[in-house]
Amino acid sequence: MPETSEMAAASLAPANPLLKAWQTPFETPPFAEIAPQHFLPAFERAFADHAAEIMAIEHDPSAPDFANTITALERSGKLLSRVAAVFYDLVSAHSNPELLEIDKEVSLRMARHWNPIMMNGVLFGRIALLHDDRAGLGLSGEQKRLLERTYTRFHRAGAGLNEDAKKRMAEINERLAHLGTAFSHHLLGDEQDWFMELGEADRDGLSDSFVAAAKAAAEERGMAGKAVMTLSRSFVEPFLKSSGRRDLREKVFKAFTARGDNGNANDNNAIIVEILTLREESARLLGFATFAAYRLEDSMARTPEAVRGLLERVWKPARARALADRDALQALVAEEGGNFALAPWDWRYYAEKLRQIRANFDDAAIKPYLSLDYMIDAAFDCATRLFGLSFTERKDIPVWHPDVRVWEVKDAAGNHKALFYGDYFARPSKRSGAWMTSLRDQQKLDGEVAPLIVNVCNFSRGADGEPSLLSPDDARTLFHEFGHALHGMLSDVTYPSLSGTSVFTDFVELPSQLYEHWQEQPQVLRQFARHYQTGEPLPDDLLTRFIAARKFNQGFATAEFVSSALIDLEFHTQPASTIQDVRAFERAELEKIGMPAEIALRHRPTQFGHIFSGDHYASGYYSYMWSEVMDADAFGAFEEAGDIFDPSIAKRLHDDIYSSGGSRDPEDAYVAFRGREPEPDALLRRRGLLETPKAA
C-alpha cells in the first residue's frame, strides 16, 4: 500500500522540529534544527489539523454562540500559523533555491486550504446568525469588533456566493497565489543575477564607507578582494547621489528600473496582465465594478474617488515643485559645462550638489554620525522614554542567520513583553526592501502569549571591522520599521485576529511613519548621532544644516511616490481588458498626469512587489500617504505640548494607537488619541509643499 502524505507526515513527526514543542528560551523557533525538507510534512500536518478544527465548528450540534463559533475559529490553526510564520520569514529573509521551490507548492496548497474554509456556507451561516443578533449577545467592545471583522472577512471572501461562483473564485485564488509567488521569485532572480564590479577608476565620488560596503557585498558573493554594486536600494540610492561617473549612473539606474522587465525568464509583464484580469473578475463576482472599489470598501478611504482626491491634491504642488527644481538642476548642469539634458540617473547627483549650495549640506557629511548601532540605540531610547520599555540583547535565542540580533523587551514594571529580532544587512538570500513581520503574535485568549517581532532591512555592511553607516533615509527606514515593531510588541488584545498590525492597510502605516518623527528631532540626534571613529556628538552647525535641508527635494520624493500610487489605482480601476501592454499603460498614465521625464516611478510595475507579489497593498499603495496625513498631524500633539516625550500624550498614544491593534475602528482610535480628526494640510506642511513655486 503506497504511503500517503499524511502517513509521511506522521512518520516524520518525531524528528520534525516544526512539529515538536520548542525547548528554547521563550519557545522560539529552533532555526538551527529546521531544514527545508521539514516544511512540506509540517504543512501537511498543519493543514489537516486546521481542517479538522474547522469541521468540528461547522458540525457542532449546539446553536451558534460566540464561544463555539467565533472564539473556536480564533483558537483554530495554531500549528499552521506557527509553521507559516517560520517558513515565510526564511523565504523572504534567508532563502535558497530549495526553499523557493517549496514556496511554489506551499502557495498553491495554502490557497487550496483556505478557499473551502473562507467560502464554507455552513460556517458563514453560523457567523451571519451571530452578526444579525450581535446587539443582544452582551459582547464586549473587542468581541463586537471581532465578530464584525470575522463576518466581513468571510463575506468578502465569497462565502455568500452560489456554488458556481464559489468554484470560480477558488480557481482564481489558486491562480493568483501562483502568480504572486512567481512575481516575487522573478524579482529576486533579477536582483540576484545582476552586479557590477567597481574598479579603482569606477569609484569617483564614492565615499570610503560606500566602497567598504561594496567590498563586503563582493565578499558575500564569493568575490573577496573586489568591490561590487548590487541592486539593493541601499546601494543604488547613494550611488546615484554620489558617483561622478555619469555612464555608470546610467547603467545602474537602468538595471534597477528594469528589474522584472528584461524579456528573460524573470520577466513580469505577462504576470501583471493576468493578475489584473483575475482580480477584476473576482471583484465582479462579489458585486463590485472594479477591484479598487472592492478593495477600498474595507478601508479608511472607502472609495477610489477619496483616494484619487488625496493623491491629486498632493500631486499638483509636488509636480510644480519638482519642475522648478528640475530647472534649477538643469541650470547647474550648464554651469558645470555639461552639454546634456538632465536625465533620471542625473537627478539625485545634481540634487545633492544643489542641496550643498542651498543648504550647505550633503548626506556624506552626516553619515559618519549615523552608525547602525547608535541608531538602534536611539530607536530603543525613544521607546523607553515614550512607553517605558527596556531592551536587553540576548545571545541565547536561535536565529536564521548569524547577522540577526535579538533583544528581550520588558515593560516599565520589568515584565517580559516581547522578543525583538533585528536582521539589518543586505545579502543575496534576502529580498530587497525593509519590512516588519512576526514569528508569533500577541494574544490573551488562553493565557498571555508574548509576541516575537521581526524587523528586516537591507543596509550596506561596513567592512574590515568598521560599523555600518546609514544615510538619513536609511536611519528613517530603521525608525519606520521599528514603529511597526512597536505596534506588534505593544499589542494588548485578547484575540489573535485583532493583534498588533491587524488593521486597515491605510491605518497600519500610522504607527510606523509617526515614529520616524523622533529620529529627526534635535534632542535625539544630539544624544545618539555620534561620530563612529571619535564618538564626538553631531556638531550643532551640521545639525542645523541637516534640519534645514530636510524639506529639500520634496517635490521629487513626493512625485515619485504619488505617481506610483496613482498608477496602482489606475491599474485596478480601468478595465483589465484595456491593459494588455504594461509598458504602454505605464507611459500613457505618466503622460496623463504630466510626470516630469527626469523622474521615474518609485516602483515601476514589473518590480512593484507591494501590489503584485500579493494583494495586501493592491489599490492600497496610497496608504503611506493617507497615513502620513495622520502621522504629521499626530506628532503635532507633542509639538503643541512643547515636549516630544510628553507623558500624558505618550500614554494616549500607547493606549489608543499602539496597543489596541485592530480591536477598535481606526477613525475612533485616532480621534480618541488626538481629540479630533486629522488636519489634511499637516502633510503638505511637513513636506514643505504648501507654498509651491510656479512652473510650467
Q: Which residues are catalytic?
A: 481
DSSP state of 607: G
Residue type (1 letter), 532: Y
Do residues 322 and 590 lie in contact, with contact meaning Cβ atoms separated by under 8 Å?
A: no
The b-or-e profile of 387-406 (16+ CB within 10 A means b, else e) is bbbebeeeeebbbbeebbbb
- How far apart CA 326 and CA 695 sit, in angstroms, is 10
Per the CB < 8 A criterion, the answer to whether 434 and 339 are in contact is: no
SS3 state of residue 28: coil
> Can you tell me the distance from the alpha carbon of 298 to that of 288, in angstroms, rounded to the nearest whole number?
12
Report yes or no: 661 and 504 within 8 Å, Cβ to Cβ: no
Task: Find all residues with CB under 8 Å of 608, minimum gap 6, and list them.
Answer: 564, 568, 621
Residues with Cβ within 8 Å of 312's Cβ and at least 6 positions away in sequence, in order, are none
- Strands in 390-394's sheet, in edge-to-edge order, are 390-394, 405-410, 416-425, 452-459, 435-440
Nearest to 567 by CA among 521, 611, 633, 598: 611
Burial code (b: 16+ CB inside 10 Å, e: under 16) for 482-502 equals: bbbbbbbbbbbbbbbbbbbbb
Backbone torsions φ then ψ of 409, nearest 5 degrees: -110, 130
